[in-house]
A = this chain, B = another copy of it.
Amino acid sequence: MTQFNETELTTAVIRSFDQTPDPRAKFLLQELVKSLHDYVRRTDLTFEEWDHAIGFLTRTGQKCTDIRQEFILLSDVLGVSMLVDAVNHRDRDGATETTVLGPFYVGEHKVAPHGTDISASLPGERMFVQSRVTDLTGKPLVNVPVDVWHADDDGFYDSQKPSYATEGPSSRARFVTDADGRFFFRTIVPCSYPIPTDGPVGQMITQTNRHPMRPAHVHFLVNAKGHEPLITHVFMEGDKYIDSDVVFGVKDELIAKVERRTDPDMPDGQRSDGPWHLMSYEFHVKPG
């Protein structure tokens, strides 16, 4: 039998993967065939549309470089990245919610002393961040490395700027929790920023009348021994894009009220030059 009607064709393609040695790979490929074929049948996809899809995927692959991953961006704006996050973190048991890692994590950061101003060289409104890491019972976790990073006042990460090669990291550091599970640092208030719009994914966002913005946030990667690594953001309450993050990364629990303060003393007793902001957030991590 070689002649296939639409349904028999799908069966034949599924069967062609029957001899796949790895059972999980076999399952994933056969389910992929079902999904793709179902899509084509449901939409009565035309040759022109198929051709457009081939061109889009090709351009997306060709936009990728060592420092640019356009397929991850595509996964992000289609909500696939957050869904993969969701299905892999079904039971939080009170642990802090997770969100996307994003493309601007550059690997383990350099340790900085508590209180360091990680954006010392940058213009922007000043912010004091105080935080604590505990387990699910509220017990403080000591000596936990926490990587933090965020965008500058113009919406760029240090690694996106040419100065990164010569001047090194900025708005990016690692802190290690003290005996009470605490760490704190100074920085500027982060800004909302657009995902890169100069590629096929940005073009799709524009052509579909979506905006390319992410609400302002600080990234945290909490890596406590004997616990699940926690990859998350803390978002700034009141951000214009808090309800329409282009990558669907916001979760209610991850939104922090950031207070504007005018008192002269900051939480670590140091004086402030002028008004400042206070972000307070506590992380709870799962054993694992």
Contacts and interface: CB of A to CB of B under 8 A. Distances in A.
Contact of A242 (B2, B58, B61, B245): B2
Nearest to A45: B84
A14 to B, nearest CB: 9
Contacts of A245: 2
Contacts of A209: 19-21
Given A3-B253, A35-B38, A87-B6, A208 B26 contact: yes
Contacts of A253: 3
Contact of A57 (B44, B71, B83): B71
Q: Which of A5, A10, A61 has most chain B Cβ within 10 Å?
A: A61
A230 to B, nearest CB: 14
A62 B20 CA distance: 25
B35 A31 contact: no
Contact of A13 (B10, B33, B40, B78): B78
Given A54-B71, A75-B54, A86 B6 contact: yes
A58 B57 CA distance: 9
B46 A58 contact: no
A207 B86 CA distance: 30
Q: Which of A2, A10, A84, A253 has most chain B Cβ within 10 Å?
A: A2
Interface string A75-100: 10011111110111000000000000
Given A17-B208, A21-B209, A64-B62, A87 B251 contact: no
A52 to B, nearest CB: 9
Contacts of A19: 208-210
Size band of the interface chain A makes with B: 35 or more
Contacts of A208: 16-17, 19-20, 25-26, 29
A41 to B, nearest CB: 6
Interface in A182-220: 207-210
11 contacts: A2-B252, A10-B83, A13-B248, A28-B49, A29-B208, A40-B87, A45-B84, A57-B61, A58-B61, A62-B62, A62-B64
Interface of A: 1-6, 9-10, 12-13, 16-17, 19-21, 24-29, 31-33, 35-47, 49-50, 54, 57-62, 64, 69, 71-72, 75, 78-84, 86-88, 207-210, 242-245, 248, 250-253, 255
